[in-house]
Structure 1
Amino acid sequence: MNHANPTLFTAAVGKIPPAGNPLVAHKFGADPYALVYNGRVYLYMTNDVLEYDADGSVKDNTYGNINKIGVISSDDLVNWTDHGNIVAAGPEGAAKWATQSWAPAAAHKVVDGKDRFFLYFANNASGIGVLTSDSPTGPWVDPIGEALILRTTPGVEDVTWLFDPAVLVDDDGSAYIYFGGGVPKGKDAWPDTARVMQLGDDMISVVGEAVTIPAPYMFEDAGINKVGGTYYYTYCSNFFQGERTAGSPPAGEIAYMTSDKPMGPWTYHGSILKNPERFFGVGGNNHHAIFSFGGAWYIAYHAQTLAKALGVSNGYRSTHLNQVVFEDGAIHEIQADYEGVKQVKDFNPYVRVAAATMAWSAGVATETIVNADDPSHATQAVTDIDHGDWIALSRVNFGAVGASSFQASILSEAGGVLELRLDHADGELIGTLHVPAASDAAWTESETQVTGAQGVRDLYLVFKGEPGTKLFKLGYWQFGE
């Protein structure tokens, strides 16, 4: 069997099975920040989107048009659900006073007995805003109608870039926000532009005055974690090309400092993640978030791997995941790679699965589908489906008895077939769902029989139909035992 025959199916680009990185291949996502809640990790990302010049060529990412925040989540770290974009800034955004939404940070806290979620973001480099929600996926609202942190905030007047927040909710319920960046002229070794400030109990106000974190060669990208009784502040070093102080971080690397208090004093230790150029052959800025999930530690970071594969390495970033080891108060050096991390649990096909859940994909996009009965709770569908496109899931556990049926929610366009295959896009065929051409623009439930789906296998949903036409949209699916 030829698993790379382009006449049978679309070739994967950027993320090639069985690789785990980048996390998704149907969209970009930069400056990742992790929130773990109720057995899932949610990643919030700057919504990089290709920009074009007048001739239709991809130009460098200016970041100026980014006013959305992308969200994906997973409970196994390999199969990721796309939750679409949070419209954070701009005339249509939750925070209408803001023009951009960069480098988000998320936090969860129980307030007045209720789970509350807080999303902090940078309005370019001029200030930091906050949104709130009752859910990690929204809907989100602006609770204060203005920036949380501005240059009038005590202790930040001299910060070059007021951006890149990170938030820690401590064991006693107190919370702290870390932010800042930039290099004042002549201060490459000690920019003194990193800050920490206490948040109010409500998480939408600040207390007192921001305190400087003396991070050597600071550039951007605050990170904060508490392991045992030690606070770890992490950041990206600047790109100063002159002679660097002995023991300082090399250019564009993630470095760390520690303290026994959330606001310092801090002790510098060293670099833990080299620039993406070292691992992937394409550089740029370095941005990360470290989090604990299922008893292990991980780092989410970005690199231009998908952009490189598409031939547009112009500043468009994708999120990756690798493991982190803390030992005796130190962080081991991290190895970034395409392989990624091990899947922590099998995937259950016998529950309703949002179609925009995938480990790998080829040719597809996702689109927000608004529920007319409840516009505040939209879902993501797999769209832009052409002949040969596919999505795939890793380590799907069909059990010893196996699956007998498959049903899906579909909005037909030209129509076609959905083939269910195992392990490869041209692997063993276990079922075929026929989708007639659309008679009206309505979502329908369709079902077909399945045979041969047993044990733990990778699952491929392969789309076939008339070449050159859009076949259908896929909302959700589920197998029956």
Structure 2
Amino acid sequence: MEELQVKLTSAVGKISPQGNPLVSHKFGADPYALVYDGRVYLYTTNDVLEYSEDGAVKDNTYGNINKIGVISSADLVNWTDHGIINVAGPDGAAKWATQSWAPAIAHKVINGQDKFFLYFANNASGIGVLEGDSPTGPWKDPIGKALILRSTPGVEKVTWLFDPAVLVDDDGKAYIYFGGGVPEGKDERPDTARVMQLGEDMTSVVGEAQVISAPFMFEDAGINKYNGTYYYTYCSNFYNGVRPEGSPPAGEIAYMTSDNPMGPWTYRGTILKNPGHFFGVGGNNHHVIFAFKDAWYIAYHAQTLSKAMGVPKGYRSTHLNEVKFQDADQSIQEITANYEGVSQMQSFNPFERVEAATIGWSAGIATEASSDGSVAVTDIDSGDWLALSKVDFDSNGASGFSASVSESSSAAVIELRLDAADGQLIGTLQIPAAKMEAAEYHTEVTGANGIHDLYLLFKGKPGSKLFKLHSWQFSQ
């Protein structure tokens, strides 16, 4: 194929070398984390743009969200898109439910087998649970109904029955935290947060839910255990009247501590200001705190991608920053949210098979599930690209590159470049036309040594979708 001259697509939202938001090819709100087998998995409310009849993006109504998104990473900068979980509705695992908001995930070994439990809110009227054998499923509804309803003991006066968080304690006992909302006239002490023990099967509840009397509670339960102390975290409400001294300001992440997972709790302060303070676009605050490879992190959402797209209308993206606990007084340092994100934990290995939907930064592309259960990179136009951060080609370097591609409508190429989309060219992979089934293609590589950012630049016929990319790998 003759040399193709293209205009590079510009990245929107996540710009190299920044780490936030974590991905820019889709949204993801209300993050919750699972650390398993050397990776952190993040489960998110699957925000998708809604349009009015004239084609304009309208405010997010949240009413159509019945799926949960999943991404994972071993280094906290390059993220693999695992697609979506069909949770609610006729095509979902929980057919009794209509929505799936604000997921929580827990792992427990039961009868010698790893089991994963995905909790979700059916709007604000109940909490359901799915069960799977891996962090990415497949998922089933083990009880065929809601796990928690307002008929559950101790839950009758919860305004918003949603936003679960789960702790599996050191003794194997598990607890679920949930609730929110502000009854009229009770802004300072809504008393709508709850904690309840889960059964050993993780799909039942035990006893009666207990009130967590969190000052100016709004929503967004979080739970962690650090050095024997339990930390309950939540988002404060937006009451605009006078707040007593020492109360949490509006829309911030606050925390309480206890020496017992059921409480009582002592209010300690706030740790993360509203996204509007950092990013110039507000909205609610929703978070999860987790430990990964000897450090602690907070994942939270903000409307940075939708703002960059020009549609800050309630569509949220997940971000990541570090958390510091203070051992001396059991406090948590205030967190600074930013676009920079966190340091990459380890370099990226290009000599193992890489799922194509593994992305540090990208421009123009989308992802979709393939028939084999993997997630492919799609919607590829000429000039689009994706990139991986700090790829380690080793001192011996790479000699070859292969990729699995399908649905190539016309001849195209993948240019392999270092450190920028127009950086040093180390190889060009030719993709033939009219190949619908997935096929493997190979090319030689020269000049790839040491650690570099890797860019896959897609070139082909202007105005047409080029192909679908399923996976790739370098060889030595």
- 1:426 is aligned, of 412, 422, 433, to 422
Q: Tell me the CA shift for residue 438 of structure 1.
A: 1.4
AA aligned opposite 1:457: H
Shift of 1:323: 0.3
Kept after mapping to 2: 8 A contact 1:415/1:472: no
CA distance in 1 between partners of 2:88 and 2:411 (Å): 37
**Aligned match of 1:174:** 173
**Mapping for residues 14-163 of structure 1, pairs under 5 Å:** 14-163=13-162
Structure 1 window deviating more from structure 2 (6-15 vs 190-199): it is 6-15
Q: Which amino acid aligns with 1:24?
A: V
CA distance in 2, matches of 1:70, 1:472: 24
The correspondence for 2:434, drawn from 431, 434, 438, is 438
Measured in 2, the distance between the counterparts of 1:8 and 1:365 equals 18
From 436, 440, 448, the counterpart of 2:443: 448
1:467 aligns with 2:466: no
Tell me the SS of whatever aligns to 2:136.
coil
Counterpart residue type for residue 473 of structure 1: K
2:349 equivalent to 1:348: yes
Whether the 8 Å contact between 1:279 and 1:336 is mirrored in structure 2 is yes
Q: Distance in 2 between matches of 1:180 and 1:102?
A: 13
* Aligned AA (1:191): P
RMSD: 0.7
Counterpart of 2:382, as a letter, is: H
Per the TM alignment, residue 370 of structure 1 is displaced from its structure 2 partner at its CA by 1.2
Aligned with 1:307: secondary structure?
helix
TM-score, normalising length: structure 2: 0.98
Aligned-residue offset at 1:413: 2.3
Cα deviation per residue 1:400-457 (whole Å; 9 max; x = unaligned)?
A: 0000000000012223100000000000000000101114x20000000000000000
The match for 2:310 is 311
Contact 2:25 2:366 in 1 (8 A): yes
Structure 1 window deviating more from structure 2 (239-248 vs 298-307): it is 239-248
The SS at the match of 1:306 is: helix
- CA deviation vs aligned residue, 1:133-161 (integer Å, no higher than 9, x gap): 00000110000000000000000000000
Q: Secondary structure at the match of 1:190?
A: coil
Letter in 2 for 1:30: A
Query: How far, CA to CA, are the matches of 2:370 and 2:244 in structure 1?
Result: 53
Distance 1:88 1:118, change over 3 A: same
1:226-237 alignment, distance < 5 Å = 226-237=225-236
Residue type of the alignment partner of 1:436 = P
Contact preservation (8 Å) 1:8, 1:426: no
1:383 matched to 2:384? The reply is no
After TM superposition, give the deviation of residue 8 of structure 1 in Å. Answer: 3.2
Instruction: Confirm whether residue 270 of structure 1 aligns to residue 269 of structure 2.
Output: yes
SS in 2 for 1:277: helix
Aligned residues of 2:253 and 2:272 also touching (Cα < 8 A): yes
Distance 1:244 1:265 in 2: 23
Distance 2:311 2:92 in 1: 28
Partners in 2 of 1:36 and 1:287 — Cα distance? 19
Structure 2 partner of 1:335: 336
- In structure 2, the residue matched to 1:375 is none
Q: Percent identity?
A: 74
Task: State how far apart, in whole Å, the 2-side matches of 1:188 and 1:177 are.
Answer: 24
1:249 is paired with a residue whose SS is coil
Aligned partners of 2:218 and 2:235 also within 8 Å: yes
Q: Distance in 1 between matches of 2:450 and 2:50?
A: 44
Question: How many angstroms does 1:245 deviate by?
Answer: 1.5
The Cα shift of 1:7 comes to 4.9
**Matched residue, 1:374:** none
**Which residue does 1:254 correspond to in 2?**
253
Structure 1: runs of 5 or more not aligned: 1-5, 372-377
Residue identity matched to 2:189: W
1:158-200 per-residue CA deviation (whole Å, 9 max, x = no partner) reads 0000000000000000000000000000000000000000000
Question: Deviation above 6 Å: which 4+ runs of structure 1?
Answer: none
Q: What is the match of residue 212 of structure 1? A: 211
